[in-house]
Structure 1
Amino acid sequence: MARTRPPPAHCLLLSSPPQAIHSNGRCAVTNALLECSPQCGHLGELALTMPSRRASDSSKRTPEPIESLLKDGHQAHIKSQILDQEDYLRHQRLIRGLIQLWLVVGNLIIAALLALLLWVTDPAVSLVVTIGSALIVSIVAGLSLYYRQYERIRQGKLRLRKLNQVRKEHLLEEASQAGDASLLAIHKRYREEAPDVVEAYREESNKYRRTHNVLQGITIVGSITISTLATAAVTQESFRWLTVAISLIVGIAAGFTGYFKYRERSFNLQQTADSIERQYYSVELRVGRYRGKAEADAYADFAHEVEWLREEQSKRQQQLEQPAEVKQEQ
């Protein structure tokens, strides 16, 4: 009498009847994915196996909805979500920087190569068309990638703001449940809004710093190029107008740098952001000026210090925007 071969250990034979199986390969009872196991030799029997794609799906997990965090999110879990989102934004900003580098430097190299071929040699039409097409495709593709990256960063910032808002609401709820006084609760809420202020200052500082670096780079590279072209213009008259055009661009860039003072604006904003962040952690750890103070006094001093820092930043900003004549009169 032939013995029935038992199924392999990796298979879990279902006792459900065949009618319990959907046409899409899922069990009507457990809603689990089912696969036929020809290795087990049991025709007509179904084996429940773990699909191999489940491991890959775990790496593509979608972010947890904000609504679920608002309902039953724990403080530690929300903080972990915030840290993950900040790391994601740093990664996306790095990619955006590489795309910007290609848009500026890469396309300039291609354009310079095309201009060099047109001016120095007599290239074939097919070569000019190829390089020109490559330049157009590079610019269009770079702009498309930059816009896509911009949308990713915008969505990431929006989610980060929502996560911070959820964290604030949880902290306020805990403060109200603990029976804190109304003034202390206001100071705590003000402290939880400090990271948003720091982030706004740093974003504006980065914007001014990038503008300053671009203008300074144009000035440096343009000055070197002018010296080279001025030497070449002695024998090649076609370089004279190019020298004039680059000189105009360098002069405009230098004028904008000196008048708007982008570097000073960036430095002041970054300094204020660092100072507010230092106070943010100091009041929580009770170090520095908050050492040995009661909770209510520490949070009150924190609010006073942050307001003073923001007021000083506004004054420095106004001084940078004033003309030189007004500063001399003052």
Structure 2
Amino acid sequence: MTEPVNLSSAATTTDVLIQHRRDIADLQQRIKNRRLQVLGLYGTPIAAVAALLAWAGLKIFVWLDSDTPGAISEIFGGAVFLLGVATLIQWVVELSSDFSLWRDPKTPVRELRLELALAEERHILDARQRTPPPMDRQASYKERLPAEIVRLRQESQHYRRLHLLMQWLLFISSSAISAVTAWYDPPQPGKGILIGLAFTVTVVTAAAGYFKPRERAFNLQQTADSIEQHATALELGIAPYNAAEEKRNLEMFATTVEDLRADQRMREQQLDQPQQGQQQVI
């Protein structure tokens, strides 16, 4: 008779924590939207004034003794008109109570930040009071790992494609330099093409040496494969997860995976450091 009660309690705890996450995500989105609204409210009239000043400056410093070209006047006049209309519409929506296009009109961003901080605090307090036992947390941790493996492999594939793109740019540009040098006898247009190709080779070589996409792809793929190997071993109950107690296996599995993720983060930090810094770390 106690099992349904435990299941009901666990379901209630899950619903409460999920609702906290939804509230936090909603407040984060509201803060982003409100920042854009405030930026439009104050940025649009500033842009209109700047356009007017630029228009007047061109008239004073360039066409003081002659008429401003019609195209210039039309461009600046249309820009000022559109910015003025946008400013009027935004402030009407902001100040009028008849429109509900914006969710948080007349609400400062700092007030939304305070609500977000309070929501995060409530989430922490409820999570602390409703924290499940370690074995349940370790089991749920195991269920979250497939998504982590997919993420690591997607990032690995991204860096692998970036590395291949850089290599192909180097191959094509380096080959084209020799071809253009042999094809064009006159300085132009061969000279300009050679400058562009040499610039491409230099930029791609520097970017490949700085960002190291090949090494990042290898490290991410290696971490994903290792985590998947341990997850398969735990699922099949083979060494090193063949202990009689499931709690022991889950604890060892969570510890091993966290060590693998920590090693991955350390390798990423080493790749972000200059070559001299990497040698000192190693």
Normalising by structure 2, report the TM-score: 0.51
Between the two proteins, what is the percent identity of the paired residues? 34
- Summarize deviations over 1:198-218 as a string: whole Å, max 9, x none: 111111111111111111110
- Alpha-carbon distance in 2 for matches of 1:234, 1:287: 70
SS of the residue corresponding to residue 291 of structure 1 reads coil
- Summarize deviations over 1:56-105 as a string: whole Å, max 9, x none: xxxxxxxxxxxxxxxxxxxxxxxxxxxxxxxxxxxxxxxxxxxxxxxxxx
SS of the residue corresponding to residue 193 of structure 1 reads helix
Match of 1:270 in 2: 221
- Alpha-carbon distance in 1 for matches of 2:259, 2:244: 20
Equivalent pairs, count: 150
- Summarize deviations over 1:219-259 as a string: whole Å, max 9, x none: 01111111100111225732221111111111101110111
CA shift at 1:184, angstroms?
1.6
1:218 to 161, 169, 172: 169
Normalising by structure 1, report the TM-score: 0.44
Structure 1 gap ranges (5+): 1-180
Quick check: 2:271–2:278 contact (8 Å CA) kept in 1? no
Match of 2:106 in 1: none
- Alpha-carbon distance in 2 for matches of 1:322, 1:258: 12
Larger proportion of helix: 2
Describe the shift of the 1:229–1:276 C-alpha distance in structure 2 as closer, same or farther (beyond 3 A). Answer: same
- Alpha-carbon distance in 2 for matches of 1:280, 1:329: 34
Describe the shift of the 1:321–1:293 C-alpha distance in structure 2 as closer, same or farther (beyond 3 A). Answer: farther
The answer to whether structure 1 residue 195 and structure 2 residue 146 are counterparts is yes
Quick check: 1:286–1:293 contact (8 Å CA) kept in 2? no
SS of the residue corresponding to residue 289 of structure 1 reads coil
Q: Which amino acid aligns with 2:249?
A: A
Match of 1:322 in 2: 273
Match of 1:205 in 2: 156
- Alpha-carbon distance in 1 for matches of 2:231, 2:244: 15
Structure with the larger RCO, 1 or 2 (CA within 8 Å, 6+ apart): 2
Structure 2 gap ranges (5+): 1-131
- Alpha-carbon distance in 2 for matches of 1:185, 1:246: 59
Structure of larger gyration radius:
1
- Alpha-carbon distance in 2 for matches of 1:230, 1:214: 24
- Alpha-carbon distance in 1 for matches of 2:247, 2:227: 19
CA shift at 1:272, angstroms?
0.3
